[in-house]
Amino acid sequence: MDTPDCLALQRPEDVLIARLSQELSGYLDQAQVDDCVRAYQFGALAHAGQFRKSGEAYICHPLSVAIILAGMHMDARGIMAAILHDVIEDCQVSKQEVATQFGVEVAELVDGVTKLTKIASRSQAETQAENVRKMFLAMGKDLRVILVKLADRLHNMQTLGVMPPEKKRRIARETLDIYAPIANRLGMNHIRHQLETLGFEAMYPYRYAVISNALKKARGNRRKVIDTIESSIKNRLEQANLPCNVLGREKNIYSIYQKMYLKKLSLAAVFDLYAFRIFCDTVDSCYRVLGIVHNLYKPIPGRFKDYIALPKANGYQSLHTLLIGPYGQPIEIQIRTHEMHHMSESGIAAHWLYKSDNGKAEKIQASANEWLRELLEIQKSAGDSLEFIDNLKVDLFPQEVFVFTPKGKIIKIARNATIVDFAYAVHTDIGNSCISAMIDKQLVPLQTKLENGVTVEVITAPWARPNPLWLNYVTTVKARSSIRNFLKNFKQQEAINLGRRLLEKELHTMRLQLDTIEDSRLQGLLASTKSRSLDALLEDIGLGNKMPFLIAKRLEQDDVSANVRLNDTENDKQQKNPLVIKGTEGMVITLAKCCRPIPGDAIIGFFNPGKGIVVHHHACRNRTILRKKHTNWLDVEWSTDVVGDFPAELRLEILNQRGALATIASTISEFDSNIENVTVVDQDVHVCIDLITLTVKDRVHLAKIIRRLKELTIVLKITRVKA
């Protein structure tokens, strides 16, 4: 056996492989250890001649990553993947070669960790986002990918000192933003704390030094206080015959900084908090210990959390309580079983650390898999990798509340989540069709934020669909991505439907029907307009990118390539067959905000490329400007069965006296109308001029409201704003 003196003469990589082999021998059989050594030999040959910035051979890095994973009792294939995790990216080694030498499973793991080196990205941020996105896709197949990546990141952070300052800060920011929260989400607190501390030191070296030095100075006095409280708790537990371990603990530097930063506390105020953990043998003992410490020191109301009955999303379980100590200082106490503590430190790594006979490890594994499945659904609907990474960041910082369905099922959801978030958490279809909700049998608006312990009943309707305004207040990733995905597809379908109506309207004036036109002529039309399909052409028409009259004219002529311009005679023909609208067509037909047309008004529309048709009042001042600038306008008219609420704007001159606006609002509400906005335009001692936006059913409804307002003595003049 090598002596320490012999080891000192050996190369660093020889020392590391010896250490790794010793670690692996503790839980793997010899054949598996030999496979890992063979992977080392392959990796050492592939990385031959490569060195890290520190000057050591590059193979030392993957060996160090493998040693970190061996401490988690990672299986042999996971260790082999860790040793080989850079050979595809940095060496002339293909995925197929790795698969031939070590099996498909190892090759897939290595490929999952490998960065995308050939992305044609516009920025460093986009490259990193695409790398993380790919890693999550690989995680969906095998969770060991993220364990290898976290160990890789941990060793990189441990050896960050040789990097230039700017690169050091960029890597530290990415670690604090993405990798530490991922470790937290997967319940791996031991890894998370190390990543946070190292990331904080690299990101803010001066702040780290100040807090670190203050901790060292205060440690002596704090130790005396901690020992006093610790012995008091131990004595009381011994009197109750409860065998428990009590441990006074020091918060890590990053959590101290976070508490100072978020709660605007001084360093002294954070040091005033003393923290203890009590480890019990059974869950029953945890609750008994809680009662004992509450009798020993006075609890602070509202600061108790039961994460045993309601575990966190990452599987974390513990009882948390805050007490007033013997010196008047707050004491934070966490009570958990030994098993819960192991789970809180290891998270999904417990699946390997304690083998599959541990039910709790299986639950954490299942929870992680469920989270990954949701993320993979989200990434399918994400517009690009940067949108996915933004969604991921939101999802990595959940502070949960627990609410109940009417049947008593507990739903975990992020703090500050609304009823819309809850509806999507239950099921996407429920979110898409929700119209209102009841909390504890009281009707509430959809933007209501949820609180712990409430019972939520979502009311749905088959005709309902997501509202773009929901994006202003939803907080969960699933709700936001589901709404965006629906609206994206909905707008496309609405544009296709509108495009078909517009084209059929033009064809009707030419005595043609779209359904009866020969396929060969349609194909020729698609080729000449460079459209992928008929739906794509109809979508372009609906969005205003192509004129329906010109498309219809091409179909009418034998020569589909003819380019016909719209003239006054054709305008007259177009006006004889106006487009009928109901005002509920969605996002491809919008009502102009300058004149706010309502049912009953004479209206006109014009194509706004990319957005569809914008409808204006016929008397709108902008109409003249638009007709000069745009030739792509058309006549439209309201349907006879139009339904809904439409905004209209009134200009009121009223006496400037107390309660005048309240009287106006009360009068308007009597007619089943809602005030959306009030703007004070001008005001003096006697008269006030207000612009009021209210919702009405149609022109008749608005006339009734105006007639009633004119009867009020406080109203001097009232006019409808049409431009």
Question: Which has the minimum average pLDDT: 48-52, 357-361, 370-374, 621-625?
Answer: 357-361
Sequence-ordered list of residues with C-beta below 8 angstroms from that of 568, at least 6 positions apart, any chain: none
**Beta bridge partner(s), residue 305:** 320
Whether 124 has a pLDDT exceeding 70, the answer reads no
Q: What percent of the chain lies above the pLDDT cut of 90?
A: 7
Pair of tokens at residue 372:
């990954």
Question: Which has the minimum average pLDDT: 299-313, 366-380, 659-673?
Answer: 366-380
- Return the pLDDT at 184: 78
Whether 568 has a pLDDT exceeding 50, the answer reads no
Whether 39 has a pLDDT exceeding 80, the answer reads yes
Question: Which has the minimum average pLDDT: 132-146, 459-473, 548-562?
Answer: 548-562
Question: Which has the minimum average pLDDT: 11-25, 299-313, 361-375, 611-625?
Answer: 361-375
Q: DSSP H helical segments within 510-640, as ranges?
A: 519-528, 534-542, 548-556, 568-575, 621-629
- Return the pLDDT at 650: 92
Query: Contact 266/260 with Cβ under 8 angstroms?
Result: yes
Assign 319 a pLDDT band (cuts: 50, 70, 90): very high
DSSP 545-562: SS-HHHHHHHHHSS-TT-
- Return the pLDDT at 119: 40
Catalytic residue among 34, 56, 75, 90: 90
Amino acid occupying residue 139: M
Q: Which residue did the predictor score with more confidence, 552 or 366?
A: 552
Pair of tokens at residue 191:
């890894």
Query: Is 29 annotated in the active site?
Result: no
- Return the pLDDT at 571: 44
- Return the pLDDT at 1: 43
- Of the candidates 130, 129, 44, 40, which has an alpha carbon nearest to the alpha carbon of residue 79? 40
Rounded Cα gap, residues 77 and 110, in angstroms? 10
Whether 664 has a pLDDT exceeding 80, the answer reads yes
Q: Which residue did the predictor score with more confidence, 391 or 289?
A: 289
Assign 8 a pLDDT band (cuts: 50, 70, 90): very low
DSSP 269-292: HHHT-EEEEEEESSHHHHHHHHHH
Task: Check residue 355 and give left, alpha or beta (phi > 0: left; psi -120 to 50: alpha).
Answer: left
Backbone phi, psi, residue 555, to 5°: -70, -30
Assign 474 a pLDDT band (cuts: 50, 70, 90): confident
Pair of tokens at residue 661:
């606006």
Question: Which has the minimum average pLDDT: 501-515, 538-552, 576-590, 620-634?
Answer: 576-590
What class is the 646-720 domain?
alpha beta
Q: What is the mean pLDDT of residues 521-537?
A: 77
Q: Which residue did the predictor score with more confidence, 671 or 514?
A: 671
The H or E element that residue 385 is part of is: helix 385-395
CATH number for region 207-354? 3.30.460.10
- Return the pLDDT at 118: 41
Whether 96 has a pLDDT exceeding 60, the answer reads yes
Sequence-ordered list of residues with C-beta below 8 angstroms from that of 167, at least 6 positions apart, any chain: none
Assign 161 a pLDDT band (cuts: 50, 70, 90): confident
Q: What is the mean pLDDT of residues 85-101?
A: 85
Assign 354 a pLDDT band (cuts: 50, 70, 90): very low
Question: Which has the minimum average pLDDT: 304-318, 499-513, 683-697?
Answer: 499-513
- Return the pLDDT at 350: 57
- Return the pLDDT at 351: 52
Q: What is the mean pLDDT of residues 615-640?
A: 74
- Per the prediction, the chain carries an average pLDDT of 78
Q: What is the mean pLDDT of residues 256-267?
A: 80
Pair of tokens at residue 405:
């369905």
Whether 100 has a pLDDT exceeding 60, the answer reads yes
How far is C-alpha 452 from the chain's CA centre? 21
Question: Which has the minimum average pLDDT: 12-26, 30-44, 243-257, 523-537?
Answer: 523-537
Q: Which residue did the predictor score with more confidence, 437 or 251?
A: 437
The H or E element that residue 336 is part of is: strand 330-337
Query: Is 89 annotated in the active site?
Result: yes
How far is C-alpha 385 from the chain's CA centre? 13
Q: What is the mean pLDDT of residues 61-79?
A: 87
Whether 335 has a pLDDT exceeding 60, the answer reads yes
Within 10 Å of residue 12's Cβ, how many Cβ atoms? 14
Question: Which has the minimum average pLDDT: 148-162, 245-259, 414-428, 531-545?
Answer: 531-545
CA distances from 470 to 399, 474, 485, 674 (A): 21, 6, 13, 19
Dump pLDDT digits (tens) for 180-235. 877 877 777 788 889 999 999 998 989 989 888 887 777 666 777 888 888 899 99
The dihedral built from the CA positions of residue 73, 74, 77 and 82, taken in this order, carries a sign that is negative
- Return the pLDDT at 582: 62
Q: Which residue did the predictor score with more confidence, 385 or 92?
A: 92
Domain boundaries, the chain: 4-206, 207-354, 485-638, 646-720
- Return the pLDDT at 377: 58
How far is C-alpha 478 from the chain's CA centre? 7
Rounded Cα gap, residues 650 and 718, in angstroms? 7
Sequence-ordered list of residues with C-beta below 8 angstroms from that of 722, at least 6 positions apart, any chain: 595, 596, 617, 619, 620, 621
- Return the pLDDT at 247: 86
Whether 564 has a pLDDT exceeding 50, the answer reads no
Catalytic residue among 34, 56, 75, 89: 89
- Return the pLDDT at 76: 87
For the domain made up of 4-206, give the CATH fold: Hypothetical protein af1432 (1.10.3210)
Assign 504 a pLDDT band (cuts: 50, 70, 90): confident
Rounded Cα gap, residues 612 and 626, in angstroms? 15
Question: Which has the minimum average pLDDT: 168-172, 307-311, 489-493, 584-588?
Answer: 584-588
- Return the pLDDT at 325: 82
